[in-house]
Structure 1
């Protein structure tokens, strides 16, 4: 049974409270896929393309280009084939993380910060530092390989042959 989902303007980062709709990449009647860029917004800090959290068809664009809207405001309605979500809307960051987890479970950050307290857009991370805080996957025999081992150091190259000395 088709369901109408409302996509709400997410917090594009750093606690910003509003953004301007710069350009829509879709129109009513267009089919959209998960993670397809549907709109470009501008915040006080940057231009950001927002991805669709659903597969479906654009039913209605609720905010025109050039308008400034508050975070949490519905900006587009998309008809999906799935069951309705509680409240009829979704947190785009959580949906993007769920989609990433379905495709590659290792793509989801190990911390709960990304799915909980603050919205995180796909590809933008949490800004939590430069350290490698994510999980690393180990290859196992069941996964088609042996545990990861360091690559052997290449053997030193033999020196070139010396030419005979001429007297």
Structure 2
């Protein structure tokens, strides 16, 4: 469906619109942003929190905290923003399509995937290893079944506590 092209284009448009918006503030003398700072702010427009945090750490470390909070606040709004967009861009028939799993993924694959992924990321992109390492660690805890109580705590109670603290710190 060619209309879904709009979803991909929206992220790219969001990035450029945000960069231009930050530079426009600079032009009118409201807030002074350098080009690297504007680019770091602009990546928030792509709605990709981890990428925004990584790039702001490289381009504008002084804005890292503000960009991290903005990016994750933006991502938290996805459940509110996404349904009307998806409803507008898809037909009812398309929304009723049920995807079937092509094959059953074995427990061994589920356990090896985070381990192999983390090793590859650590070798190829060492700066991204801590962030992806946490995702991989969470997957490994859930799939291994060895630390079931800890996995349950992380998935339920701990995530709620961290969300509350993040909300209070903003």
Task: Please classify the TM superposition score into its range, dividing by the shorter chain length.
Answer: under 0.3
**TM-score of the pair, normalised by structure 1:** 0.21
**TM-score in terms of structure 2 length:** 0.20
Structure with larger RCO (C-alpha < 8 A, sep 6+): 1
Tell me which protein shows more strand as a share of its residues.
1
Q: Which has the larger radius of gyration?
A: 1
